[in-house]
Amino acid sequence: MSDPSPPIIVWFRQDLRLSDNPALSAADGRTVLPVYILDEEAPGAWGIGGAARWWLHHSLTALAEGLAARGLPLVLRRGPAGRELSALMAETGADTVHWNRCYEPYATKRDAAIKAEFAERGLAARSFNGSLLAEPWTLKTGAGQPYRVFTPFWKALLAAPPPEPPLPVPGGLRPPARVPAADDLASWRLLPTRPDWAGGLRETWTPGEAGAQARLADFLDGPVAGYKTMRDFPGVEGTSRLAAHLHFGEVSPRQVWAAARMLEAVEGGTGTSGIDSFLREIGWREFCYNLLYNYPDIPDRPLNPRFEAFPWTPDATTLSAWQRGRTGYPIVDAGMRQLWRTGWMHNRVRMIVGSFLVKHLLQPWQAGEAWFWDTLVDADLANNACGWQWIAGCGADAAPYFRVFNPVLQSRKFDPEGAYIRRWVPELAGLPDAWLHEPWTAPADVLRRAGVTLGTVYPRPIVDLAAGRDRALAALATLGEAS
């Protein structure tokens, strides 16, 4: 039954779920107006990318269905968030808005401005932690500084009070008597149409809270046991693939943590190395948000200022070959094609393709970061920026720039039977394992029998690995002492 009293506006953002949603639970027992605002002004250059827009459409659809099952609407508005919230409060008589905090620099600036404006007008804006195990201002070094090395950060996180138990879906939310005007989701045109390149995304993903819980359960039911070792092998289903669900808040880190620890308790310690390794990756996500909050320039500028002067050699043709998966290095091309087809790439392969771009090809890390931002369904400002700075050797706790991944050796080590390469680079599928990882070394008769013509069917290598490595180290030397 609807309630004529003014509602509390619950502003959904990167928390598109009903369970363990502190902003929603804090309104339990009250009239609630759930709202999502597509604010394309505040993010500036970091507006949501193409693959993530696809995910957002389906996640909002799932959220609206979950709310509707409880008699609640989801009001969609498009425009600057402060303006739209003010309009909704005027239209409904609401004097309170709840939201769960976001930590991107533009979001913290925008949200602080909204809070200050509302306070001046006698309106209440309450924010909650629905996205992290620990707020990024709570964990500091002994000197009171933000952590810039992961291992001590992880130890501090483990030593902190354990996360609160996840909250259930609130049962006492009441719908408003009148629902204000709202946008139709289709009018936002989040889905690609001409062309519709999202077929692989539809085949691969189930956005929404139910999809997130199912993926978490499937992972904990099997792959987590071997996660410590199998997570490095892209040809097997050895990872959780929860990143997009976590980014959009369809599942919370507290829910992930609690489910993993419960499994650990049930198993009495059996297989805990896999669980510990998995939770360490949740810790890495926390570390990235800690860095983004305390060093808000990292999406655009290197954390290590020495790298401001690094002599990159930007080249559109080279970048395009990498983006299209036409570099001539099978493991690199497999990763880039998996990304384009599914909106996701295996983490080990992300490191390989990233190292290849910034070191062998000497392209700026920001170019790779921008491509991932547009093509990943799990595009996340904190993780993306920190990942690329780690690869480029210019970020916190980064792999040294002089450590150059050899894609052939990586391929032989982590895809020894070529399952991953054969799936994503099918034109090489007929090559024997001995030649699959570096087809340019295969004898002519082997290539002929496999139907491979280098330079047409499959490209020749875009760069010589030894020469590319030497060029990268020479570029590093221009900065002075290697870091």
Q: Which residues are catalytic?
A: 281, 284, 312, 347, 365, 388
- Total residue length of the chain: 483
* SS3 state of residue 32: strand
Distances (CA, A) of 47 to 42, 53, 107, 188, 339: 8, 10, 12, 14, 19
Record the tokens describing residue 336, joined without a space.
């880039």
Q: Give the DSSP letter of residue 161.
A: P
- Provide the terminal-to-terminal Cα distance of the chain, rounded to the nearest Å: 64
Q: How many CB atoms sit inside 10 A of residue 158's CB?
A: 12
Record the tokens describing residue 86, joined without a space.
């003010």
C-beta of residue 147 within 8 angstroms of C-beta of residue 141: yes
Q: How far apart are CA 49 and CA 343, in angstroms?
A: 11
Q: Dihedral (C-alpha) 25, 26, 31, 34: value to the nearest 10 degrees?
A: -60
The DSSP code sequence of 362-422 is: ---HHHHHHHHHHH-TT--HHHHHHHHHHHHT-STTPPPTT----HHHHHHHHSTT-HHHH
Residue written as token pair 């502003």: 11
Q: How far apart are CA 148 and CA 134, in angstroms?
A: 16
Q: Which strand ranges, in their side-by-side order, compose the sheet holding 96-100? A: 75-78, 32-38, 8-12, 96-100, 124-128
Q: Is the peptide bond before 314 cis (omega within 30 degrees of 0)?
A: no
Distances (CA, A) of 46 to 146, 266, 355, 381, 382: 24, 42, 23, 8, 11
Angle at 354 between CA 348 and CA 358, to 5 degrees: 150
Q: How many CB atoms sit inside 10 A of residue 136's CB?
A: 21
Inter-axis angle of helices 330-342 and 407-414, nearest 10: 70
Residue written as token pair 């062998």: 360
Q: How far apart are CA 255 and CA 239, in angstroms?
A: 17
Amino acid at 216: L
Q: How far apart are CA 358 and CA 392, in angstroms?
A: 6
